[in-house]
Amino acid sequence: MEKIVLKKKPDEYAEIAGKLFLQGYNCSQSVVLTFAEELGLPLEMAAKLSSSFGGGMGRLREVCGTVSGMFIVAGLLAGYSNPNDYAGKTEHYKRIQELAQRFRECAGSIICRELLGLKKDGADSFVPEKRTDEYYKKRPCKELAATSARIVAEYFSE
């Protein structure tokens, strides 16, 4: 992998991601938008690209949206594009699994419903909850967005 040079420190990316979540962006958007400028992505495109992954993929409560956002950033920074690049694909999947493991070590899981303490399996209502003070008090998503942004920034700073 060629050396990727990020402009900010990992903690700066973490702070930005947390603030974006508090502005109303979903968990995945919060991570992707944090890196949009450095990725050369217009903000609207970055927001749309990552919009489907909030709430564990459209509130299905599967893979945490911040983790999906982290993977999107990793793909845009160092993904492969040639379908015949077996070595590149292998290296990228290794990278994704390493990022997932780092997140698991910090948060305990990469599954949205587990991170939120939801007991049921399957999809949640497709209607997003209103962002209120109570919502923010019961959701770890701001911190998870910060964690994902920090992890991906640390990874590409190593």
Q: Which two tokens stand for residue 106?
A: 């910090």
DSSP designation for 111: B
Residues in contact with 46: Cβ distance below 8 Å, sequence separation at least 6, in sequence order: 29, 32, 33, 36, 39
DSSP designation for 3: P
Give the relative orientation of helices 27-39 and 141-157 as an angle to the nearest 10 degrees.
30
Integer Cα distance of 69 and 81 in angstroms: 18
Domain residues of the chain, as ranges? Answer: 10-157
Q: Is 63 helix (H, G, I), strand (E, B) or coil?
A: strand
Integer Cα distance of 79 and 99 in angstroms: 13
Q: Tell me, what's the pLDDT at 1?
A: 55
Q: Tell me, what's the pLDDT at 129?
A: 87
**pLDDT digits (tens), the chain, 158 positions:** 556 779 999 999 999 999 999 999 999 999 999 999 999 999 999 999 999 999 999 999 999 999 999 999 999 999 999 999 999 999 999 999 999 999 999 999 999 999 999 877 766 788 888 898 888 888 999 999 999 999 999 999 98
- 133 contacts 76 by C-beta, under 8 angstroms: no
- 43 contacts 36 by C-beta, under 8 angstroms: yes
String of DSSP letters for 33-64: HHHHHHHT--HHHHHHHHGGGHHHHTTS--B-
Q: Tell me, what's the pLDDT at 65?
A: 98
